[in-house]
Amino acid sequence: MNLLKASDYKDLSRKAANVISAQVILKPDCVLGLATGSTPIGTYKQLVEWYEKGDIDFSEVKTVNLDEYCGLSPDNDQSYRYFMNQNLFSQVNIKLENTNVPNGLAADYEEECSRYDKLIAELGGIDLQLLGIGRNGHIGFNEPDVSFEKTTHIVNLDESTIEANARFFQTIDEVPKKALTMGIKSIMQAKKVLLIANGPDKKEIIEKALHGPVTPDVPASILQFHPDLTVVYCFD
Of 99, 112, 23, nearest in space to 63 by CA: 99
Q: Examine the residue annotation and report whether 100 is marked as an active-site residue of this protein.
A: no
Q: Is 207 a catalytic residue?
A: no
Is 112 annotated as catalytic? no
Is 236 part of the annotated catalytic residue set?
no
Given 100, 117, 138, 142, the catalytic residue: 138
> Whole-angstrom Cα distance, residue 110 to residue 227?
30
- CA dist 47 and 56 (Å) reads 8
Indicate which residue of 112, 117, 143, 149 is catalytic: 143
Full DSSP string of 121-188: HHTT--SEEEE---TT--BTTB-S-SS---SSEEEEPPHHHHHHHGGGSSSGGGS-SEEEE--HHHHH
**Which listed residue (65, 103, 136, 165) is catalytic?**
136
Crossing angle between the packed helical segments 41-52 and 80-87, to the nearest 10 degrees? 40
CA-to-CA distance for 87 and 38, rounded, in angstroms?
A: 11
Q: Which residues are catalytic?
A: 67, 136, 138, 143
